[in-house]
Amino acid sequence: MSTAFDFTPLYSSMIGVDRMVELVETALRSGASASYPPYDIEKTGENAYRLSLALAGFAPSDLEIVAEPNLLVIKGERPTRDGQGARSFLHQGLAQRAFERRFELADYVVAKDASHAHGVLSIDLAREVPDALKPRQIPIGVGAAQQALDLKPAKARKAA
């Protein structure tokens, strides 16, 4: 089964979709490692999102969050503790391995806040579009020919 998609039709009607195509291709290439740690992405407002990662066993000091333009990187590494090698588990279901999760962010989406409680890391994100890029109303001016007609007396305009 082929996972190749032809994005050529987008290029004829949309400008700047090359970045979107790269994001789609990256998402299709991601493998099984993308499933750890499990996470939720929720929309909490019109321009607000929350990313929640299940990180049982990780302390806030074991985690690192790096926000770059259009990228959020979350790393976790548990330091080895003395005497832990002597422990004998009958079953070990809590993941102890290091991880690095990368989330591609849309333009103008920024990380605002992060909190860690009950084994869940929550990161609040918001889309902050600069005022210069928001839609604005463009006034329609009157052309020179129309202005010339408006300056003539009413009788002259009727004759014209």
CATH number of the structural domain spanning residue 56: 2.60.40.790
Asked if the structure places residue 88 within a domain, the reply is no
Q: Same domain, yes or no, for 22 and 53? A: no
**120, containing H or E segment:** strand 120-127
Q: Same domain, yes or no, for 43 and 67? A: yes
The β-bridge partners of 42 are: 50
Q: Same domain, yes or no, for 97 and 22? A: no
Q: Which domain, by its residues, includes 25? A: 7-33
- pLDDT given for residue 1 in this prediction: 44
Rounded CA separation 23/160 (Å):
61
Asked if the structure places residue 52 within a domain, the reply is yes
Q: Per the structure, how many domains does the chain have?
A: 2
Rounded CA separation 126/107 (Å):
11
Q: Same domain, yes or no, for 105 and 54? A: yes
Asked if the structure places residue 152 within a domain, the reply is no
Per-residue pLDDT reduced to its tens digit, 24-78: 776 666 654 567 899 999 999 999 999 999 998 899 999 999 999 889 999 999 8
DSSP state of 143: P
Rounded CA separation 23/71 (Å):
11
DSSP output for 72-96: EEEEE-PPP-TTGGG---S---S--
Asked if the structure places residue 155 within a domain, the reply is no
Q: Same domain, yes or no, for 63 and 14? A: no
pTM metric for this prediction: 0.63
